[in-house]
Structure 1
């Protein structure tokens, strides 16, 4: 399901697609948009932008078309049309919305919702031309955007920037930028085997053949979009070999900007200008940039020297450690026990692949990516480290390690052989992706014979054999699956293959087992396959248990939601029906036409069984702030009761007054012994407990910056401990004291009654967070709708929570 933001982006994308189709202009989905198309058949769920690419010729045609045929309230911003635009990447923008990024506060650029359009340029197969292009495009970016230092990331242009600023003063900005453009964009397509994406942050180089002639089409939501000829190759080179895996929640991040679909960006920008003087701030940026650029190289040398100083002792520490456990390493290696080797090498791998050592080929860490630091190990140990990485399916890390050792002239003969095999592995993936399955099968057989304990090789060979025919290669596939499960017993990909073999295409009896496999993999392709299997078997779902399990895989499937509602109503499980309100009212904002009938059905049932609780029903469904105020006024006129306090708490929470809301819930708890009301309040306090959990998680995930010594590590942990304590004190403020927490939590059965009256400190609260499931109602743990979306608000503000579960029963409302 698309978010409101994604639906708006999709409208813009359809407009661009229509213009391109009308005028025979080729484009290609790129970046996260292409990953979304392949891995999710649409947007990545948390994504908030869209990227497409065009060749230079197609881009020039598109610019000409947009001069006369843009829809109303749209604008194309790019350097070709306006050198006062502050970005190298062109943007097809909606004038009526807002997507105000931090630097856009200072500029007059149109800052509405937009599609990024990245042109790619051509380069000869020549390192010199690639290096010069990078110097020129970063200089170009620095000249058009004074708020960001692009060249710093590469260590380039420390003197050229000042010289070109001087040229702009005498020759004019347009002339200087035009001359740079002619220099950068001078190579002809037919003379160049490489293309480079025109992006000052990280200009990415690709083989031209990857993009092809744009005749490859992929499904994006409900539209077919153009894509590179060799999608897999593009994504491997851009995002490394593991691109098909869904990242953990801590890495699912959007862009830092102010988004609004119904507020003109000028309104937001003018509001911000009450706090920021754009002209003054711009002059400050320009002065700082003029000062930083000449001394950039010196600063990078000093920064790198500090890392190198600590490197020697750390490398020696690892060498001594691995020398002491050499027998264990050799034993694990001889037994092909790469899980143990991974555990032995885990500290070294974690440190070596830190951004300040190996960098990342991305916007912020590209300098260290090009100038990495190697913690050198003895050759024999280093060979085992890189083989362990490969066998444990960290293929991109294995390749990166070998590349850095080559750069530092520390590569071993074994590493060079493994590098050739990794490239061969990628070629096998390439042949698989373009349908050359016979060639891919022969290649995977070679790899499997050489690396029988590589889980990546095992899975790749299974996938190829399944494509060639499961029945034909049944015994080979079964052998591979069983071998893989010995290495990774709970791997969802392998469990899914095992189920495929077992059912022979008749999946209806194994749907729940497929769902279990779904929750044991991050592979987007496997997840899609299992979602398809569950969807096909929706007619066979006839129990609440099966429906709930299916909802954990298809939480937004309209047919399944309606079926679940019908099953619950049929069995009279009104507490479960109430739990749907939080889920449905959140979805109705996006797909009201699909969910309206379901909401009406639930509402009718609710009123039928709880005629007295219409105000409570209103508090569940109401989201408009003004309506909340009116509802609050009505509730305040009621006779005092625990239910009155409960409803007030819900209203206050939605208004963003979370402290007052908790105080109201506490009052409600103290004044009732009704089991049903206490059950509702338990869910409310459970959500508040998750809020504390969220606070503590944020501290744990704080990035450690330049921590090189044990003393610095200890100081960092001390700061974290102080932050955790302060957060706990802030969180518990509504409870007045620690004894109130134990009293309230025990009364609503979140903790055992044996804790009543005890002082609850931070350590105890952490234990409660970990163990609360043991005391929580089973419905909380088994119903995906109830806790399918973890509460993660970290500051007071208008809240949309999923804790509205059941209606009260001790009310005269």
Structure 2
């Protein structure tokens, strides 16, 4: 662990004890839960800890922490601190200093913190869900005068400039608290009427099925056990997409921008910071900066709408040329087809273009070839975007069902749910997708989990899997597991070493490291 992580870990242990002592259920969230599942602890680059808590459990925790007097700790919420304008309650270590730009003048302790994301009931009705997301964004945007929640990745129907202006003007008449109360009423639902939870956060509506989070399980996080959602793999798939198990390259490893001094109390320079904030009108500058960026965000939507229409015209010209040809998909030509279609995919799959859902006149055989090329290159999310943009496609539902089955197959494989895996495999194999890479990986995993006891048959099956998958590293790992099972330990350990050096699949890498740490031999610690 880094020094930052060591201190955060200490805070996490404190909160865990408080919650356990008071029968309060919480669980690891976001990158913290991803780190637990994929790395057995912190993400190597992570610099914060996020926790989930349901509204009912939060209310219990809030009462407990407001009554407790913990030395050098603060519990800061929008309810107990008038100047704190954020929907995320924070447990703060006053012995440290961590300063974020948007919070520099909010008058709260600027120490290292753990954030709670509150999970609120989210409606079942689709139209109410759209309204909820709109008012959730609005609530967070108005609540925080210095931080911009609007993002180009938010759905178009979520961002409503006229509604924002209406409530912003209303603040001058009735006050900000009354306006926030009115908006909050629109995102408050009876838990018994809802099958979903939504995190109270403006940058994105994170929605889970309640059934995934109605209980927790303990998993290893560094040297202790901490709770994650019962169906944490489902949650991670929502948070990070189907490829949550892959470790991103350095450019995509998110680190927060802040001024950190873990050896210095946040109170040491508090008076000086307050003087600077007052002297240079920092809060006024931050407020004006937010309003400018918000205005730019609204105008950017208009620009993106126009830009997408121009791109749509270009795509139609491209498609018109392809419509003249006869198209037929073959697995052997997957890479070639993807290369041909990539200019189309680059535009249609972009956040900016896809959210406007513009239609194209595209022949069915061409569209089907595109869809299959994405399915067989395992770009399931991209395939769903193409299908959602082409609802008139006669086979749209059929291919959507295939994508859903592949998506769920991967989830159930990492859940180690053999019954569901077998059901989904049977469905996909019957639909002639036995050689789709995620299906192949799952078949290989299943064989390594339940060897047939016929060594030659199993090894021959793996050689076939490797040939079809072009020596896919995940298939290779399951082959190594099977060789180890049959006593070929030296060969298996050599394969494990190669996989650790070449793979970015954090799940198989963690499993290999766990196997080797149990004295199964063959690899020095330095290679881990």
- How has the CA–CA distance of structure 1 residues 521 and 480 changed in structure 2, closer, same or farther, with 3 Å as cutoff? farther
What SS class does the counterpart of residue 108 from structure 1 fall into?
A: coil
Please give the per-residue CA displacement for 1:24-74, whole angstroms capped at 9, x wherever unaligned.
Answer: 000111111111111111111111111111111100000000012252111
Residue 283 of structure 1 deviates from its aligned partner by: 2.8
Which one of 485, 495, 505 corresponds to residue 504 of structure 1? Answer: 485
Q: 2:507 aligns with which of 525, 530, 533?
A: 525
Once residues 482 and 521 of structure 2 are traced to their aligned partners in structure 1, the CA distance between those partners, rounded to angstroms, is 23
Does the aligned pair in 2 maintain the 1:466–1:473 contact within 8 Å? no
Q: Partners of 1:43 and 1:345 in 2: how far apart?
A: 39
Question: Unaligned 5+ residue runs, structure 1?
Answer: 359-369, 542-546, 555-813
After superposition, the C-alpha distances for 1:274-310 in whole angstroms (9 at most, x for unaligned) are: 9876763433454565677689756522331133224
Residues 40, 51 of structure 1: alpha-carbon distance in 2 compared, 3 angstrom cutoff: same
1:120 CA drift (Å):
0.9
1:62 is aligned to: 61
1:94 positional shift? 1.0
Indicate the residue corresponding to 2:39 in structure 1.
40
Alignment of 1:532-547 (within 5 A): 532-537=514-519, 547=524
Structure 1 residue 173 corresponds to structure 2 residue 176: yes
Q: How much is the aligned-residue C-alpha RMSD, in angstroms? A: 3.1
Whether the 8 Å CA contact 1:42–1:220 is kept in 2: the answer is yes
Say if 1:167 and 1:176, in contact at 8 Å, map to a contact too. Answer: yes
The change in CA–CA distance for 1:268 and 1:489 in structure 2 (over 3 A counts) is farther
* Aligned-partner SS, 2:284: helix
> Which residue of 2 is the match for residue 425 of structure 1?
406
Greater gyration radius: 1
- Write the distance in 2 (CA, Å) between the matches of 1:180 and 1:334: 53
Q: Deviations over 1:215-257 (max 9, x none)?
A: x222211222222222222122222111111112221221122
Equivalences for 1:633-672 in 2 at 5 Å?
none
Question: For residue 135 of structure 1, what is the aligned residue in structure 2?
Answer: 134
Distance 2:178 2:193 in 1: 27
Match of 1:118, SS state, is: strand
Asked if the contact 2:477/2:496 (under 8 Å) is kept, the reply is yes
Q: 8 Å contact 1:492–1:518 — kept in the other structure?
A: no
Residue 312 (structure 2) pairs with residue 311 (structure 1) = yes
Change (3 A) 1:438 1:516: same
More helix by share: 1
User: In the TM superposition, what whole-angstrom CA distance separates every residue of 1:395-427 from its partner, at most 9, and x where no partner exists?
Assistant: 222223222333xxxx42333212112222344
TM-score for the superposition, normalised by structure 2: 0.88
Q: Which of 192, 210, 213 matches 2:212?
A: 210
Is 2:494 aligned against 1:492? no
Is 42-51 or 248-257 further displaced after alignment?
Answer: 248-257
Alignment-derived partner of residue 352 in structure 1: 348
Counterpart of 1:4? Answer: 3
Alpha-carbon distance change, 503 to 286 in structure 1, aligned in 2, over 3 angstroms:
closer
* Superposed displacement of residue 96, structure 1: 2.1
User: 1:379 is matched with which residue?
Assistant: 364
Structure-1 residue corresponding to 2:71:
72
**CA shift in 2, pair 1:283/1:256, >3 Å:** same
In the alignment, what sits opposite 1:242?
A: 243
CA contact (8 A) 2:305 2:356 kept: no
1:338 corresponds to: 334
Q: Deviations over 1:771-810 (max 9, x none)?
A: xxxxxxxxxxxxxxxxxxxxxxxxxxxxxxxxxxxxxxxx
* Count of residue pairs brought into register by the alignment: 522
1:445 aligns with 2:444: no
Counterparts of 1:225-624 in structure 2, within 5 Å, are: 225-265=226-266, 280-287=281-288, 300-317=301-318, 319-320=320-321, 322=322, 330=328, 333-334=329-330, 336-358=332-354, 370-372=355-357, 377-406=362-391, 411-449=392-430, 450-467=432-449, 469-472=450-453, 478=459, 480-504=461-485, 506=487, 508-510=489-491, 511-537=493-519, 547=524, 551=526, 553-554=527-528
What SS does structure 2 have at the residue aligned with 1:67? Answer: helix
Q: Secondary structure at the match of 1:6?
A: helix
Contact 1:357–1:374 (Cα < 8 Å) also in 2: no
Higher RCO (C-alpha under 8 Å, 6+ residues apart): 2
**Which residue is 2:109 aligned to?**
110
Q: SS at 1:371's partner residue?
A: coil
**Partner Cα distance (2:11, 2:495) in 1:** 40
What runs of 5+ residues in structure 2 fail to find an aligned partner?
none
Contact kept in structure 1, 2:92 and 2:113, CA below 8 Å: yes
Match of residue 99 from structure 1? 98
Shift of 1:311: 3.2
SS of residue in 2 equivalent to 1:413: coil
Contact 1:168–1:176 (Cα < 8 Å) also in 2 = yes
CA positional deviation for 1:101:
1.8
Post-superposition CA distance 1:686-733 (Å, at most 9, x none):
xxxxxxxxxxxxxxxxxxxxxxxxxxxxxxxxxxxxxxxxxxxxxxxx
2: distance between equivalents of 1:239 and 1:130?
A: 21
Measured after TM superposition, the shift of residue 444 of structure 1 is 0.9
Q: Secondary structure at the match of 1:232?
A: helix
